[in-house]
Each structure stands twice: as C-alpha cells, then as structure tokens.
Amino acid sequence: MDIQIPNLRHLRVFLAVCELKSITRASERIYLSQPAITQAIAKLEKQLETHLFERHSDGMYPTESGILWQKRVTRSLNYLRDSTLELLREPALKDTLSANVLAQISTTQLKALVAVCDVQNFSIASRNLGVSQSSVHRAARDLEKLLGIALFDKTNTGINATDAAKTLTKAAKLAFNELRQGIYEIHALQFKDVSTISLGSMPLARTTILPKSILRFGDQHPDVNVKVIEGPYPDLLHHLRHGDIDIVLGALRYPAPADDVIQEELWNPPLSIICRADHPLLSLESISAHDLAKFAWVVPAEGTPTRTAFKEIFEQADCPQPSRIVESSSQILIRELLLGSDRLTLISKHQMEREVELGLLKILSYPLEHTRRPIGLCVRKNWLPTITQSHFLSVLREVCDQFR
C-alpha cells in the first residue's frame, strides 16, 4: 500500500485546532483564515478517510481517530523541530527561528531532500520521485535558503550531502515513518488493517524464527504485509535508526551499537560445526582443534560474532587458524561449498536444519557450548509500535520460546 505523506501545513493546522478546540481561535493563533483552516481539515479527513473532529456547542474535540492522529503528528513534528534546533546557527535565536523555519518547511522540500540524500544524485532522485529534475532542484535549494545552511556540496563526481543534510534527512524519515504509523492505526481502527511491517533480518533469524513467525502472524492478520530487508548488520542498523525499518532481528551486539536503540534477547543458541555427510572427520572418535585446522573453511566476515567464535576455537587450543578460508554469510553458497568439498563451517544448526534432516549435511561432535550467541530484537529507543506491530513482536517472542 502506497502511503501519501500529508501536507505539513495541514498537520500544523490540525494540531492548532486540537489544542484550541476552535477554528476561530486557531485562525488567530496561526494567522490563517477560517475558511483556509476548514479546508485544510477537510483535506486531511478526505486523505485519511475518517472524521478527525466532533463538533460540539463548546468547541471541536478530536474523535478516536483524531486522538491517534494527534499523537503521531505531534511525535512527527517533534522530530523536525529538534532537528532544526540542532541545525540553526545562532543559539540565542534558536527558539524563535526554529518556530518560524519549521512553519515554512514543506513536505515537498523534505521529500526532495530525502530522495537526493539517499542516492546522492538529483537526476536519479527526480526519477524515483516521479517529478522533473528542476522541481527537485528548486525544492532542495528553497530548503537551503530557508535554513541558511548548505545541504549539498558539489564534487568532481557529482554531489555530497553535508552533515546538516544528513541530520535533517534522518529527522524527515523518522517524521514520515511516524505519520505512516498513524495512518496504519486509523485504518486498523476502521477494521481495514492493511499496514506493512518493515524489518531487517540476519541469516539465523531468516531460516528459523522469521518464517514461523510470519506464517503464524499471517493466519491472524491476512491483509498485513511484511517487508523483510536483508543485508550486513551495519546497513540494517542504519536503516533502523533512520526509520526505514522498525525492527532488526538477529545476533545482538554488546554493548548496544548506538545510544538511540535498545535490544531484547529472545534466544541464545550455540554454534555448530557442519560438514558434508561423508566427511573424513566423522570417522574420528574424538576431534581436536588441530584436526579442524587441517581443513578449509567457510566463515563470515571479520567483526561478526561468528567469526570471533571461529578464532576462539583455535586460540583456546593454542593452534594456528586454518589458512584456506572463503568468507561468506550466504547460506546457499555455504551449503554448496560444503556439499562439494571437505570444507567446514561454523553456523547455528538451525540455519542448516533442512539439509541435516535430509541427511545431506552432518553436525560434527565438538564442544561449542561457549559459543552461545544472544539472538533478539533491536528497535529504536523511542519507537512507539502500533497494536499490529506489537502483536507481531508477541508472535516472535512466542516462536522463540519454542526454541529455548
């Protein structure tokens, strides 16, 4: 479902009416005519397909949908307010300037900023937005002029987003995400929950926890979409902190990787050494680290928890590490390399569960209890999940309990 981000000016009008409970008083506060305010509210209600206010003799009060929307809009505009406060240069004028600047920033300007920052190219950004390149240029330059801050630097190869642009882009993405959350909540309130749950998943979760969770969740929420993003942990963390996804599921990092995220442990399985079904090591009664070092391996990249555990196997035995290594976290590539050679890999047995059940691969008997890795959730610290998202988290927890 394609979610259209509402006009920021309409959102400010909506909050003013919520606070003052009167179009007349809101008109005086924000210097807009009463017809303009009435029209802005009508456009919002049409876009959201719901009534936001109930008209009473003593004023206008938000409906149940209006209360949900007020909460999300407030959180959304707070992201933008905090970002402009950070960017404006004169500390003594921050409070005054931020209010004036924030009132003039448009949805179009922020969409252009996000699109350009994501691809570092005006031409590609314009194609992604489906508008002319001149429109994107104009929106970005108007925003620069409004803030009095350079957002893009020209280089020999194109443009680079400045630190200010990156700061505001992150705030805009989080603000837009908050509005999408609000739209999902309003739709769910109207018994037409067609929201999307966006999450990033690491390899172990993709082969065990996630498939079972999605199937169970889908039985109860057949119209809710689940969008799974795959990639290296640093990329997933970046997407999480910028509001592109709301959950990262996989191996946890200690200490927590950033101040603005929190982690929740769900499961801590040990690693296993996996090989093909007729591997020479399977004939040994007892296997040592020196035996393992004689063979080629497939292991993930440096800096990952599994690679650290791989090194510890040989360090603890005062044994040189194997020198013939293929670095990969691709389960498909690992499986094919194991099936076609005497290579070994260090991985959770749950990731190769199907191949082991079919007898294609075997688990070597080697003590690895010390390699238990905490698997769980990583979310933004100030994230406020919808009821649907909260239910999905509950299903994840229930599925993980079955693996303990």
pLDDT in tens, 160-199: 999 999 999 999 999 999 999 999 999 999 888 889 999 9
**Which pLDDT score, from 0 to 100, does residue 87 have?**
82
> Which residue ranges make up each domain of the chain?
8-170, 193-268+375-402, 271-371
343 versus 190: the higher-pLDDT residue is 343
- Domain 193-268+375-402 adopts which CATH fold? D-Maltodextrin-Binding Protein; domain 2 (3.40.190)
* Span 230-255, pLDDT tens digits: 988 999 999 999 999 999 998 898 88
Can you list the positions of beta strands (E) in 5-45? none
* Rounded average pLDDT over 204-225: 91
Summary mean pLDDT of the chain? 91
The reply to whether domains 193-268+375-402 and 271-371 share a CATH topology is yes
Residue 97 above 60 pLDDT?
no
Distant-in-sequence, close-in-space partners of 395: CB < 8 Å, separation ≥ 6? 213, 216, 217
State both tokens at 18: 């919520």
Residue 158's region, left for phi above 0, alpha for psi from -120 to 50, else beta, is: left
Distance of CA 307 to the CA centre of its chain: 25
Residue 68 above 70 pLDDT?
yes
> CA 304 → CA 64, 135, 367, 394, distances in Å?
46, 43, 20, 27
* Rounded average pLDDT over 316-337: 93
| Domain 8-170 of CATH type 3.10.620.30 | no
Q: How many whole angstroms separate alpha carbon 77 and alpha carbon 97?
A: 15
* Rounded average pLDDT over 31-36: 92
Q: Helix, strand or coil for residue 196? A: strand
Residue 2 above 70 pLDDT?
no
Residue 46 above 70 pLDDT?
yes
Percent of the chain clearing pLDDT 90 (strictly above)? 74
* Rounded average pLDDT over 340-349: 95
**Best CA proximity match to 151, nearest among 167, 160, 139, 162:** 162
Residue 208 above 90 pLDDT?
no
Q: How many whole angstroms separate alpha carbon 319 and alpha carbon 289?
A: 7
Pick the CATH number of 271-371 from 3.40.50.11710, 1.10.620.20, 3.30.2180.10, 3.40.190.10: 3.40.190.10
Residue 110 above 90 pLDDT?
yes
**Which pLDDT score, from 0 to 100, does residue 93 have?**
46
SS (H, E, C) 53-95: EEEECCEEEECHHHHHHHHHHHHHHHHHHHHHHHHCCCHHHHH
* Rounded average pLDDT over 50-63: 93
Distant-in-sequence, close-in-space partners of 85: CB < 8 Å, separation ≥ 6? 94, 98
What is the pTM (predicted TM-score) of this model?
Answer: 0.85
Residue 98 above 90 pLDDT?
no
DSSP 183: H
Q: In what order do the strands lie in the sheet with 297-299?
A: 325-327, 297-299, 344-347, 272-276, 361-363
Cβ neighbours around 110 below 10 Å, total: 22
Residue 91 above 70 pLDDT?
no
